């Protein structure tokens, strides 16, 4: 039972639920990274994991971290999970635990549930259960890295509907003249939205911005076009 498990806390789960915090269930590599990033960004987290060593290792790093078996509905109820708006299930390899946990959450009607899938079949099951936010960390990372490896991209984010933002250095065609004069948007179908000078800070671009070879830029547009633009000669 959760009440007999080690608990490390700065706020009770009840208070956390009221504070619009996030529950992260399953603190493996994915769940742990997610929970720590949320805390880092200022969102309080209730972390739940069945493994005592994992719970102890996160002692003091999450607002509240507790050992509990999330397949048990009463354990989740004791931890006030039904009162949270946002819950993430980071359990993957243990398919049965992922499905049972997710089913419990669907019963609670938490407004937003995210669940990790480790295979297409796992994803299909979660979808059939009624989960709309399904995360495929390995597939997503594989696709992302393929773009980084293929092109001269320093970073890459693809949104839905085939739209992406990439971090790269300015191709020759965009250098040494005001962007308005280069007609980059008309010719290449992309927009250069921001620039970072060597050693400087990020700033928005305007039609008057002139790019140089040691700048870093953010390009936004249809995925294929952002990549094609980033692959143009740089010198």
Q: State the residues that interact with ligand ATP by CB under 6 A.
A: 25-31, 48-51, 54, 69-71, 90-94, 97, 118
Q: Which is closer to ligand ATP, CB of 25 or CB of 164?
A: 25
Q: Which is closer to ligand ATP, CB of 20 or CB of 51?
A: 51
Query: Is 219 in contact with 152 (CB distance < 8 Å)?
Result: no
For residue 39, the minimal CB distance to ligand ATP (Å) is: 17
For residue 148, the minimal CB distance to ligand ATP (Å) is: 21
Query: Is 164 in contact with 158 (CB distance < 8 Å)?
Result: yes
Q: Which is closer to ligand ATP, CB of 29 or CB of 177?
A: 29
Query: Is 92 in contact with 122 (CB distance < 8 Å)?
Result: yes
For residue 141, the minimal CB distance to ligand ATP (Å) is: 11
For residue 98, the minimal CB distance to ligand ATP (Å) is: 7
For residue 92, the minimal CB distance to ligand ATP (Å) is: 3
The terminus-to-terminus CA distance of the chain in angstroms comes to 64
Q: Which is closer to ligand ATP, CB of 21 or CB of 182?
A: 21
Beta partners for 220? 165, 191
| DSSP class of 72 | -
For residue 198, the minimal CB distance to ligand ATP (Å) is: 37
Q: Which is closer to ligand ATP, CB of 92 or CB of 171?
A: 92
For residue 200, the minimal CB distance to ligand ATP (Å) is: 37
List the one residue out of 105, 88, 77 whose CA is nearest residue 14: 77
Q: Which is closer to ligand ATP, CB of 5 or CB of 223?
A: 5
SS3 of residue 110 by DSSP? coil
Q: How many Cα neighbours within 13 Å face the side chain of 11?
A: 18
User: Look-up: residue for tokens 């972390």?
Assistant: 47
Q: What is the spatial distance between Cα 134 and Cα 157, in angstroms, rounded to a whole number? A: 17
Dihedral angle computed from the Cα positions of residues 165, 199, 40 and 167, in that order, rounded to the nearest 10 degrees: 10
Q: Which is closer to ligand ATP, CB of 31 or CB of 171?
A: 31
State the burial class of residue 49 (Cβ atoms within 10 Å of its Cβ: 0-12, 13-18, 19+).
buried
Q: Which two tokens stand for residue 208?
A: 């008057």
């Amino acid at each position: 039972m959760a009440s007999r498990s080690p608990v490390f806390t700065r706020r009770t789960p009840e208070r956390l639920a009221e504070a619009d915090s996030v529950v992260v269930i399953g603190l493996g590599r994915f769940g742990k990274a997610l929970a720590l990033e949320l805390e880092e960004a200022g969102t309080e987290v209730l972390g739940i994991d069945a493994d005592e060593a994992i719970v102890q290792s996160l002692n003091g790093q999450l607002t509240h971290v507790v050992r509990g078996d999330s397949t048990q509905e009463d354990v989740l109820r004791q931890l006030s999970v039904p009162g949270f708006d946002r819950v993430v299930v980071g359990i993957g390899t243990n398919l049965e635990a992922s499905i049972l946990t997710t089913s419990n959450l669907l019963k609670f009607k938490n407004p937003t549930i995210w669940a990790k899938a480790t295979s297409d079949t796992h994803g299909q099951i979660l979808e059939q259960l009624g989960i709309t936010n399904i995360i495929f960390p390995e597939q997503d990372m594989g696709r992302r890295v393929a773009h980084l490896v293929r092109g001269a991209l320093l970073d890459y984010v693809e949104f839905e509907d085939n739209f992406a933002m990439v971090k790269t250095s300015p191709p020759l065609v965009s250098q040494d003249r005001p962007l308005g004069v280069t007609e980059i948007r008309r010719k290449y179908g992309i927009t250069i939205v921001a620039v970072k000078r060597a050693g400087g800070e990020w700033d928005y671009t305007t039609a008057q911005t002139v790019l140089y070879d040691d700048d870093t830029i953010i390009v936004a547009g249809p995925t294929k076009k952002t990549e094609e633009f980033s692959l143009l000669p740089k010198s």
